[in-house]
Chain A
């Protein structure tokens, strides 16, 4: 008979919970690439073209938010001791509504009309409201204050504000409300989304996974404690200033979260430089390319550089590059962890588990890195030098995203094969 003393099934949600998000996300990035291939430099002439708006949301909502939702569903119980109630149902509904909402919203922004825009916004907002409700409930539980729990709480708060601002903008576009200084509110929406929801969560998760996976010294305590609150403070000031019609001053307030992220980037480079294992793997190179993109984006922003360049660096260089770097470690670790958990529950340790490299080989990860950097370079070239390169960049983005989808799907398939083999072995021998 299995000894299940102390077992809490919520402590380790089924692997399907995060994997449904991780496997869907690259498909949206691929769609963004195909849209750029179709529209070419017409998409990047201005940040306000329908195609540019659609691509931004395909990547920000379809890729980045999907990956972060999946990561939180898994990390809350495992890293913060805060299990999400009914994780399978919550994940299924969040994923389904978010996927449908992203597709509809992007189609609406592309020119599909206000019906698609409104429907997409409603679906995506419902998905994220459900997600926030489930994860906020879990985050109420940890009694202690740790930097990662604080970052998760603040990033969720930023997500709520981002969604609220997004709904307000859609209402303005659909004519339901008259929004003065529309562009200032758009800047606020993307600041809260990219620097608040994404940036704060990336920092919080990074504080845990960088030392863990790269065997580095921990981040400085002052950085872990203050970066997220200061970032949120800057964004809150920007919100207040925009409300008071002080859009120019609001831009200055956004410098605070940008500075926090820049310090995090420098600290990450320093940690990784001091890592104990000197081996250079694809994950490290992904991190470095994302950090370089973040620094270049910050310089571009300070020097009032072209919006297209800023968009490519932030969304593709950081928004796709950095989560990809994390996924190449997180997916193999989760696969190994869930198989190990099966062994522990069954009290059977006679099945040899694969190594982490057995789920995602290094050469495959390097292949994806090469494809990603090619896409990034072509898109940067397209928005700065030769507009004709945008189509090639879009194709390269679609290819690298499809490759990422394939790599993750292959890892999931390897997990399923080992899980099935282990189950067969457990059933085949007498119970302990």
Chain B
């Protein structure tokens, strides 16, 4: 199952906090799709040690980030 979060229009560090909160409550087999105004490089340093993987779609104007635990639903490795 996919959970969606639109985090555009929020001041830092609220977007990072909301992502971490959502991941804390997410089941291992689910994934999180996040909409952000730009690529969240600081978030990667937090996701990586927690064992999450992600795929980035889009760069300018809007960034859509798909986050999952382990191999996840798509089976793809992290893009970064």
Residues of A at under 8 Å CB distance from B? 3-8, 11-12, 77-81, 146, 208, 211-213, 215, 218, 221, 276-277, 333, 336-337, 340-341, 344-345, 347, 349, 356
B1 within 8 A of A: no
Please name the residue on chain A nearest to B46 by beta carbon: A344
A11 interface neighbour in B11, B48, B51, Cβ under 8 Å: B48
Please name the residue on chain A nearest to B53 by beta carbon: A6
Contact A276 B38 (CB under 8 A): no
Please name the residue on chain A nearest to B80 by beta carbon: A81
Cβ–Cβ < 8 Å partners of B38 in chain A: 208, 211-212, 218
Contact A344 B11 (CB under 8 A): no
CB distance from A235 to the nearest CB of B (A): 27
Please indicate which of the listed interface residues B11, B16, B44 has the most CB atoms of chain A within 10 Å of its own CB. B11
- 18 A-B pairs with CB atoms under 8 Å apart are A3-B50, A5-B51, A79-B41, A80-B41, A211-B37, A212-B12, A212-B37, A213-B11, A215-B10, A218-B38, A218-B61, A333-B12, A336-B13, A340-B16, A340-B46, A341-B46, A344-B46, A356-B12
Contact A218 B37 (CB under 8 A): yes
Please indicate which of the listed interface residues B9, B42, B60 has the most CB atoms of chain A within 10 Å of its own CB. B42
B24 interface neighbour in A212, A336, A349, Cβ under 8 Å: A349
Cβ–Cβ < 8 Å partners of A6 in chain B: 48-49, 51
Cβ–Cβ < 8 Å partners of A344 in chain B: 20, 46, 49-50
Cβ–Cβ < 8 Å partners of B10 in chain A: 215
- Per the bound structure, the CA–CA distance linking A81 and B46 in Å amounts to 13
8 A Cβ contacts from B15-40 to A: 16, 20, 24, 37-38
Across the A-B interface, give the 6 residue pairs with the lowest CB-CB distance, nearest first.
A7-B49, A6-B48, A12-B45, A11-B45, A276-B9, A5-B51
Overall SS of chain A's interface = helix
Q: How many residues of B contact A (CB 8 A)?
A: 23
Cβ–Cβ < 8 Å partners of A208 in chain B: 38
Contact B49 A81 (CB under 8 A): no
Contact B45 A77 (CB under 8 A): yes
CB distance from A421 to the nearest CB of B (A): 19
- Per the bound structure, the CA–CA distance linking A221 and B45 in Å amounts to 26
Contact B44 A81 (CB under 8 A): yes
Cβ–Cβ < 8 Å partners of B20 in chain A: 340, 344, 349
Please indicate which of the listed interface residues A337, A341, A345 has the most CB atoms of chain B within 10 Å of its own CB. A337
- Per the bound structure, the CA–CA distance linking A146 and B41 in Å amounts to 13
Cβ–Cβ < 8 Å partners of A276 in chain B: 9
CB distance from A327 to the nearest CB of B (A): 15
Contact B80 A78 (CB under 8 A): no
- Per the bound structure, the CA–CA distance linking A158 and B38 in Å amounts to 27
Apart from A3-B49, A218-B60, 17 more pairs, CB < 8 Å: A5-B49, A5-B51, A8-B48, A81-B41, A81-B44, A211-B38, A213-B11, A215-B37, A218-B37, A218-B38, A276-B9, A277-B11, A337-B13, A337-B45, A340-B20, A341-B46, A344-B20
CB distance from B10 to the nearest CB of A (A): 7
Please name the residue on chain B nearest to A77 by beta carbon: B45
Cβ–Cβ < 8 Å partners of B24 in chain A: 349
Please name the residue on chain A nearest to B62 by beta carbon: A218
Contact A4 B13 (CB under 8 A): no
Contact B61 A337 (CB under 8 A): no
Cβ–Cβ < 8 Å partners of A213 in chain B: 11-12
CB distance from B72 to the nearest CB of A (A): 14
- Per the bound structure, the CA–CA distance linking A188 and B29 in Å amounts to 60
- Per the bound structure, the CA–CA distance linking A218 and B11 in Å amounts to 14
Cβ–Cβ < 8 Å partners of A5 in chain B: 49, 51
Contact B60 A78 (CB under 8 A): no
Cβ–Cβ < 8 Å partners of B9 in chain A: 215, 276
A215 interface neighbour in B11, B41, B59, B80, Cβ under 8 Å: B11
Whether A78 contacts B45 in the complex (CB less than 8 A), given A5-B51, A340-B16, comes out as yes
Cβ–Cβ < 8 Å partners of A11 in chain B: 44-45, 48
Cβ–Cβ < 8 Å partners of B48 in chain A: 6-8, 11
Contact B50 A78 (CB under 8 A): no
Please name the residue on chain A nearest to B15 by beta carbon: A212
Whether A356 contacts B45 in the complex (CB less than 8 A), given A3-B51, A344-B50, comes out as no
CB distance from B67 to the nearest CB of A (A): 13
- Per the bound structure, the CA–CA distance linking A103 and B29 in Å amounts to 58
Contact A333 B51 (CB under 8 A): no
CB distance from A350 to the nearest CB of B (A): 11
Cβ–Cβ < 8 Å partners of B13 in chain A: 333, 336-337, 340, 356
- Per the bound structure, the CA–CA distance linking A333 and B12 in Å amounts to 8
